[in-house]
Amino acid sequence: MGVLQDTFEKIDRDFGFLVDAFGEVLTDIGEDDLAEVLPRFGPNPPDSPMPPLGLEPTREIHLLSIVLQFLNLVEENAAAQARRVREASPTDPGEPGLWRRRLRELKAEGLTDAEIAEALDEILVEPVLTAHPTEAKRPTVLHTHRQIYTLLLDLENQMWTPAERQEIHRRIKGALERLWRTGEIRLDKPDVASELDNMLHYLKEVFPPSLQRLDLRLRQAWAAADLDPALIAEPARLPRLAFGDWVGGDRDGHPLVTAEVTRQTLAKLRSTALAVLQQHLNTLVDHLSLSQAMHDAPLRFLDRLDELLVRFPETGRRFASRFKAEPWRQYAALMMARVTSTQQDRPKGYARAEELVDDLVFLRESLKEVGAHLIADLEVAPVERLARTFGFHMAKLDIRQNSAFHDRALSQLMEAAGFADCDFANWHEAKRLEFLNAELRNLRPLVPRKARLGAEAQAVLECYQVIADHADQYGTAGLGALIISMTRSLSDLLTVYMFCREVGLLRREPDGGLWCPLQVVPLLETIADLEAAPEILSGYFAHPITRLSLEKSTLAGSRPVQQVMVGYSDSNKDGGILASQWGLHAAQTAIAAMGRRQGVNIAFFHGRGGTPSRGAGPVHRFLDALPHGSLGGQFRVTEQGETIAQKYANIGTATYNLELLMAGVLTTTLKHREDEERDEELIAVIERLADDSRQVYQALLKRPGFIRFWERATPIDVLERSAIGSRPSRRTGRKERSLDDLRAIPWVFSWNQARYYLPGWYGLGAALARARAERPVDWDILRDRGTRQPFLRNVLYNAETSLASADLGLMLDYASLVSDEALRAEFYDLIAREHGLVGETIDDLFGQSREQRRPRMLKTIRLREEGLRRLHSHQIALLRSWRSGREELLPRLLLSVNAIASGLRTTG
C-alpha cells in the first residue's frame, strides 16, 4: 500500500493547494462571499451534507464545477507521479500493462528476443478520434485545464528558487481566474469545422511528441529486459502507430457532414501533416551542421545531393551558398523545399509520403557511414518515424453511413435510371442480391453524371465523388474505410460497391475482374446482427469483387486482412452489459474462426464508448479479455468524447495511454497464437448468465410505463437541448421518444446524470442470484474459475465501477420528479432491489468486499461525493421549475449538466 497511500496523500495535498489558490483568486477579484464558503470537500468530507451556500445557483454551480475539475487534474498528476516512483524502483515490476512489465512477462514465458521482435513488426495500433457528443466542456476550458496541469508539473521540480516557485504560483492563479471568468457551456452547437480543429490539436500538438517518447520508452524497457537492442534499432522495426478520424467523414444521422465538409476535412488533414513535417525538417536543417572538412561525405550521398540540386536549381544555389561545405544540411533543406512544393501541389513535390521516407532513410544511413550514429538516431530517425506514422494525411478519414440511408439512395438511383420496380429497401434479400450481382459484373453506371437525383442519392454520390477525386490526386493513404452502420445483411455491403461504381472508384483488371481500393466495412451493433455476422461475412468474402480487392491489398506472402467493426453501444441498449459483452465476445470468436477457414485474417475495429456500459474500462484488461484468436496484430479502436481529453490532454498522459495500447496489443497477439484450452463448462455457465441477465434487463425496458419513468426521472429532455456536439441526439426527427430512435450516447448520458448508471449493471444481480439459488454447480464454477477468467472478470469489474458510481439516495431524489406515485414506486423499487443484488452477489462471488478489493476506485468516488450531491440538488430543483414552464432556467440546467459531467468524469 506504500505507493498507493502516497498517491492518496498527494491528491489530498495538491487538491488543497488548488482550492486555497482559488480562494486567493476569488478574494483578489472581490468575490469574498464565494471565497469564504469555498467548499473544501474531498479528502475528508463531512458526515452530514454541507448547508446551502445561500448564493445565486448559477454562481454556486460554477464554483462547484471548477473545484471538481481540480480533483480530475490532481488525480491525473498524482497517477503520473506514482508511475514515475514505481519505475524508479529496481525491485518494482512496473505499472500493469506497460512495456516494462509486459516484456519481462513475455521473456519469463520463454519467448526469445527474435520472436518478440518479429511480433513487433506486425503490430499496428490505430486510435480513431470521433466527435460523438460526449464532451461537455468547451475547448477553451480544456485548454485552461492543460495549462494548469503543466504548471502543477512545474511545481514538482525541486530546482526552482523560492522566487521562481512564487511566479509559478502566480501563473496558476492567473489560469484559475481565467477559468472562473470563462463560460463553461456552449451556447450554440459546434459546427464540424470547430470539432475538426479540436481533433487537429491532438494530432498536431500531442501525438507527434508522444510518439518520440513512446519509442524511447520501448527501447529503454527492451534494454531493461535484457533483449537485443539491435533487433529494434531501425525505425521500420518498431511497432506501427496510426490514427483515424471520423470528424468530417461520419455522416450517420448527421446532416451537417456534407460532401464539401468531407473535401475540406481531407484538405485540412493533408495540409496539417505537411506543416508538421515541415516544422521537423526545419529543425533537422538547424541540427545537421556537419562540416565536409571534418567528414568525407560518401560519394553516393553527394550524387543524390546533386540530383536534388538539379531538381531545385534556384533553391539549391541559395542553400549551397548559405550552407557551404555542409552537405547534410543542404540535403535536409532541399527535402524541406520539396515538402513545401508538395504542400503547394507543385509537380516538383513528393508524390507520396513513401518517397520522403526513402530520402530520410538515405540521409540517416549516410550519417552512419561516416560514424555519426548518435546524430542519425537522435535527429533523423524521429523525423523518419514521424513520416512513416502520419504520412501526408495525419489521420485516415473514415466514411460512415447507415444502411437504411443507402437503401433509400439506391432506390432513388434506380428510379432515375428508369427501373419499374425500385423499392429496393423493401425487397427480400434474395431479390436484392440477384439485382446487385447482375449489376456488379460491369462498370456501367446506372445514371449519367449530371442526372437529377433524390436527396439521399445525391448526398451519397457527392460524398463518394469527393473520395474518388482525392484518391485520383493523392492516392488512398489518407482514406480509411467505408463503414456501414446497422449492417444486417450481405446486400448492405454489396450496395456500397454500386456507389463506388457510379463515381469511378471501382477498378478493372486486364482479365475483367473488378475491385475496390477502399475496404467496405460492416459495423455490427445489435445482438441479432452480431449473431448473423459469420453468415453475412462468409457470403461477402465469396463475392468476386471482395476476393479481388483483398488480393490487391495484400502484401506478398501474407494473408488478406478484412476489417470488421463491432459496436458496444446498441447491443448494450438491447440487452444490458453482460448479454452485450458476451454477444460481442461470441461473435468475434465465430467471425475470426470463419475468417481463418476462408484464409482471411479479421482485424476487429472496436467501437468503444466513454463508459463501461459502452465498452470502456482499463484498456489492458480489455485487451486481456478479448476472445482467443481474435487479435492478429492490428487493433483499431474509437476514442470518443470526453475520453479524448482524459487520455490525451497532455503529452505524458497520452504517452501512457498509447503505451498501454501498444504493449497490450503485442502481448495479446502473441498469446492468441498459442493453442487455447477452452473451458466449455465455464462458457456454458456464462451463456446461461448472459441469457438470464438479458431477460431481466429487457423485462424492465418493456415494462409498461418505463419510458414515462425514464423521461421524468432523468434529464434526457435537457440533454436533447444541449449544445455538446454537432450531431442530433436521435437518428430521426420523430417527436415521440423511443429507444429504437434514440442514440446510445444520450441514453447512457441521461442515466449517468441522474446517478442510476443503469445500463452498466442492471440485470447482472438477478442473473447471479438465480445461479446461486437454482444452479449451485454453476455458482461453484463461477467462484472457482469465473473470477479468474479474463472476460468475466473484466465485465464484473466494469459493472462494479458503474454500480459504485450509482447512488440510491440520489436515484430516489430524481425519481421524485415522476408525478405518478405508483409509477415512481414501481420502477424505483425494481431498480433499487437490483442495485443491492448486484453489489451483494459480486462481493459473494469474489469472497471479499468491494472496499477490500477496490480502494482506489472508491477513493476517487468519495472525493467527489459532497460536491456532486450539492450539484444534483440544484439540478433537481431546476428541472422541476423548468418543466413547469420556466424556459429561462435552461442555461442554468445546462451548466449543471456540464458540472456533474465534470465531476463524474463521464457523460455517455
How does 746-769 read in b/e, with b if 16+ C-beta sit within 10 Å? bbbbbbbbbbbbbbbbbbbbbbbb
**H helix or E strand, kind and range, residue 355:** helix 353-369
- 296, 372 Cβ separation under 8 angstroms: no
Strands 124-129 and 240-241: parallel
Cell representation of residue 566:
463491432
Using DSSP, state whether 524 is helix, strand or coil. strand
Cα(825)–Cα(807) distance, integer angstroms: 17
The residues with which 520 forms a beta bridge, in sequence order, are: 482
How does 419-436 read in b/e, with b if 16+ C-beta sit within 10 Å? eeebebeebeeeebbebb
Q: Is 89 exposed, middle or buried (0-12, 13-18, 19+ CB in 10 A)?
A: exposed
Task: Determine whether 348 is an active site residue.
Answer: no
Cα(826)–Cα(804) distance, integer angstroms: 23
- 406, 543, 573, 671: which is the annotated catalytic residue? 573
Which of the 8 DSSP states describes residue 377? I
Strands 561-567 and 601-607: parallel
Cα(756)–Cα(123) distance, integer angstroms: 39
Cα(382)–Cα(694) distance, integer angstroms: 50
CA distances from 106 to 101, 229, 577 (A): 9, 16, 32
Cell representation of residue 622:
480489455
Cα(755)–Cα(44) distance, integer angstroms: 22
Cell representation of residue 163:
522566487
Alpha-helix runs per DSSP H in 553-598: 570-575, 577-597
Task: Determine whether 573 is an active site residue.
Answer: yes
Cα(153)–Cα(160) distance, integer angstroms: 12
Cα(480)–Cα(395) distance, integer angstroms: 9
CA distances from 814 to 19, 673, 754, 868, 874 (A): 30, 50, 6, 14, 11
Which of the 8 DSSP states describes residue 378? I
Residue carrying the nine cell digits 540530383: 307
Cell representation of residue 815:
425519481
- 132, 137, 406, 874: which is the annotated catalytic residue? 132
- Other Cβ atoms less than 10 A from the Cβ of 494: the count is 22
- 574, 780 Cβ separation under 8 angstroms: no
Phi/psi of residue 263, each to 5°?
Answer: -60, -45
Dihedral sign, Cα of residue 661, residue 664, residue 670, residue 672: negative
Contacts of residue 789, defined as CB under 8 A and 6 or more positions apart, other chains included, come to: 679, 682
Any idea which residues carry the catalytic annotation? Answer: 132, 573
